Amino acid sequence: MIKAYPLTISSIRVFEIFRDEPQVFFLDSSQKNADRGRYSFIGFAPFDIYRAKDIHSLEALQKKFNRYKNTISKTTKTPLPAGIVGFISYDYGVRQENILRRSSVRNNETPDVYFGFYDTVITVDHYEKRLVISSTGLPAKDIKRQKERARKKIAYIEQKLKAGVSRHSPYEYAGVFQNRFKSSFSKNAYLSAVNKALVYIAKGDIYQVNLSQQFEYDVAGFPVDKVKVYKKLRDLSPSSFSAYLDAGAQTVMSSSPERFLKLEGRKVQTRPMKGTRPRGINKKQDARYLKEIKESPKEKAELLMITDLLRNDLGRVCEYGTVSVKTMRTIEKYKTVYQATSTVEGMLRKDHDAFDLLEACLPGGSITGCPKIRSMQIIEEVEPVRRGIYTGVMGY
């Protein structure tokens, strides 16, 4: 069941109205463009939740999803009328290669795979200025009960949108973050990790590696409005693939400009990003940073290597001869940075599906390094904590 309406309020306002619903998600195109930011999606109250932490997590999710996928009708009004929404952690990809350290316990509570099964989704079409409510009526078995469940869900959403209020608590994020964030590294330990990586590069083990550090802030004793924290994040760094997900024990927030994978029919697209410069505080400085990223041999080499890595990953599951680089290097402008990106496409083999594609490409090459597996081994050696959801993937 699908209903469409003229868009009269912003997507962030729609999300705020439903913010207190259980397991709410917001796939938020806060930097809108016709290609990558046309749609935003809001959903809540999944009829089932899958969470797991083992090497068979995706396989089990696939079996669970296959029970329902044929009951979801395709429509031109929204690419997500219903379905699964969630995340796959960075550690899932590392676990597949059997290189996850047993000694690292922090972030151990994060599932490798978490997805909610959402029978009802609100779609905001920024291009057509349209709001779409779609509902399948799952998990009801017979058509009559599905229609009745879908009708009730849509009526509930209509009523909430009309009222335009949410029951959120009046907590503020302002004033909370007064203490310093704590890094997982000391300064000396971080510099030591960088030097180790440079030694591995000099020895020829790797060409590049993406090192990271985790920052923690203890909010115990402080009432924090998570949605207001997210709104601050999207104000500071609007992106085509921002996201908010209430995963029960954890809330995940993201502001990412990077598309890891898109599968439309059998057409696969990935858009790796490598090479960054900040935006300037004035036009002269901004132009200098833009010139730097355009001309830097280092930035060009980084993106070239990762593009080739992703091309190889797609080649594992795509039809022979169909994988190609559509755009080698484009400089994209965001509120806080310039970012270099490429676009790689291919045609998925007929005997493969989205889960096979994920297995072939996880974790993303742009957040590991090149060669991928050796870079992952070095990351496990020098980073003191597990990454968990950080540098994993979110989507539907």
Report the catalytic residues.
Answer: 258, 274
Listed residue (104, 83, 90) closest to 53, CA to CA: 90
CB < 8 Å & 24+ apart, contacts of 266-269 = 266/347, 266/348, 266/350, 267/345, 267/346, 267/347, 267/348, 268/314, 268/317, 268/318, 268/345, 268/346, 268/347, 268/348, 268/357, 269/343, 269/344, 269/345
Query: Residue for token digits 């550690």?
Result: 91
| Cβ count near 317 (within 10 Å) | 20
How many C-beta atoms lie closer than 10 Å to residue 301's C-beta? 14
Residue 25 has φ and ψ, to the nearest 5°, of -130, 155
Q: N- to C-terminal Cα distance for the chain?
A: 20
Listed residue (280, 270, 276) closest to 345, CA to CA = 270
- Packing angle between helix 187-203 and helix 372-382, nearest 10 degrees? 150
Closest by CA to 138, choosing from 222, 208, 74, 72, is 72
Characterise 319 by phi-psi region: left (phi > 0), alpha (psi -120 to 50), beta (else): beta
Q: Are the beta carbons of 125 and 132 closer than 8 angstroms?
A: yes
- Judged by DSSP in three states, 353 sits in coil
- Cα dihedral 273, 275, 281, 282 sign: negative
What whole-number distance in Å separates Cα of residue 141 and Cα of residue 156?
21
DSSP letter, residue 52: E
Spatial separation of the C-alpha atoms in residues 384 and 225, rounded to whole Å: 30
Which residue(s) pair with 216 in the sheet?
A: 182
In the DSSP assignment, the letter for residue 318 is: B
Residues belonging to the chain? 396
